[in-house]
Structure 1
Amino acid sequence: MNTAVKERHEPLKLDQAAIDKASKSLEEGAVTPSYGPWRDDIVKLLNDALATELVCVLRYKRHYFTASGEASPAIADEFLVHANEESAHADKIAERIVQLGGEPDFNPQTLQGRSHASYDASLDLQAMVRANLIAERIAIETYRQMIVLIGDKDPTTRRMLEEILSDEEEHADELKDWLGH
């Protein structure tokens, strides 16, 4: 005897009107009407994230080339690895902006103002590690907030940001391990 209570629910059903709209406005590429009014907001969030990644690349590159001291070779090598990973993040973000019909903003005159993280010109190795850890923690917080804001409005962008967030968390853990060396 089945004692489970049968719940009433609406059957899962696709929105045929939205599917029909998707066959129009082909110049929009992957952007269908279901992106709704959030597309411009998402592009703005992504352009700010792009600026952050580019500033991080510049900061890590500076630290890579200027790190000195007994522990510097290993730490500098890690700075270069992080710089390259941040550059790959920037490329993914720029590509997604274009897919959404936006224009990636690489303008060097506005990068720092749009970036969530700061540039750092420290010469002390521990100050470099600390500055990069702060920047990674800021990136983690901003990506977490962006993921929540975007939610189900743009699953592709959300998944991309979740992947980048995972990398940023890994960077922060690695930098934490270098504190005090």
Structure 2
Amino acid sequence: MSGPQPFVADLQELHRRAREHMEEGALEDADRGVTALKLLNDALAISVVRVQRYTSHYLSVKGPHREAVKQEFGPHARQEQEHALRLAERLRQLGGWPDFKPEGLRSLDPSPPFDVQDRWDWIREELEAEELTLQIYRELLLYFADRDPVTRQLLEDLLSNEEAHARDLEARLRDSRPRPGSAPSDPAPDPTGSNAGRPRRPSA
């Protein structure tokens, strides 16, 4: 079984980095100001990765489901860009500097055109990425809860936006399931990402 796509793998790596920085910040002799800046840059890196992915796919997507993907990725790219700007502004307010070029992330490399042959594949990957983002934001909120009310409010706003997008993606998958007595034109999507439960195509 192949590993996660670069986009999801990068979010997993950013989750690992954020946890490492939170563990460092929990030490008694840790400089909490430095830790806060590291964590905000971790959150900024998430938005940077997502802006790059959504913008790239919006501009280069091809295949039979091109327009559906563009309608999803365009607004989300703009939303993530707003998130990045708000996080960068908070970093400057705290005396830090936003890092718009996080190192070691494969999804930031130039990629070929995005060809969508299965319209559910990109929704499943997008939902997996959304769930990772939600998990990271929730853990950051726990860290900032009693330390920085302004940053806490910012993260709560971003989390609310991400939760709304996750609900939208879940609804897309749920509504795609065939109603009783109906025959869908496409196989019903499997949120787990496996092919179990999909009808087999007749052999040639």
The answer to whether the aligner puts 1:112 opposite 2:108 as a matched pair is no
Deviation per CA, 1:53-107, whole angstroms, max 9, x where unpaired?
Answer: 010111112332305325x424421211001000000000000001000111112
> Alignment RMSD, CA only?
2.5
Partner of residue 123, structure 1 = 115
Could you tell which deviates more after superposition, 93-102 or 75-84?
Answer: 75-84
In structure 2, C-alpha distance between the alignment counterparts of 1:155 and 1:142, rounded to whole Å: 18
Please report how far the alpha carbon of residue 172 of structure 1 lies from its aligned counterpart in structure 2 after TM superposition: 1.0
Partner of residue 172, structure 1 = 166
Deviation per CA, 1:121-163, whole angstroms, max 9, x where unpaired?
Answer: 7533322222211111111000000000111200000000000
Where 2:98 maps in the other structure, the secondary structure is coil
Unaligned runs of 5+ in 2: 1-29, 177-185, 187-204
In structure 1, C-alpha distance between the alignment counterparts of 2:164 and 2:48, rounded to whole Å: 18
Partner of residue 156, structure 1 = 150
Partner of residue 77, structure 1 = 71
Tell me the TM-score normalized by structure 1.
0.69
Match of 2:33 among 23, 33, 39: 39
In structure 1, C-alpha distance between the alignment counterparts of 2:111 and 2:162, rounded to whole Å: 18
Please report how far the alpha carbon of residue 40 of structure 1 lies from its aligned counterpart in structure 2 after TM superposition: 1.1
Deviation per CA, 1:32-64, whole angstroms, max 9, x where unpaired?
Answer: xxxx94221111011011111010111112332
Could you tell which deviates more after superposition, 74-83 or 98-107?
Answer: 74-83
Cα distance change of structure 1 residues 174 and 68 upon mapping to structure 2, 3 Å threshold: farther
In structure 2, C-alpha distance between the alignment counterparts of 1:168 and 1:82, rounded to whole Å: 10
Cα distance change of structure 1 residues 131 and 175 upon mapping to structure 2, 3 Å threshold: same
In structure 1, C-alpha distance between the alignment counterparts of 2:63 and 2:56, rounded to whole Å: 12
Q: Higher relative contact order at CA 8 Å, sep ≥6: structure 1 or structure 2? A: 1
Tell me the TM-score normalized by structure 2.
0.61
Match of 1:61 among 38, 47, 55: 55
Paired residues in the alignment total: 140
Unaligned runs of 5+ in 1: 1-35
More helix by share: 1
Please report how far the alpha carbon of residue 120 of structure 1 lies from its aligned counterpart in structure 2 after TM superposition: 8.7
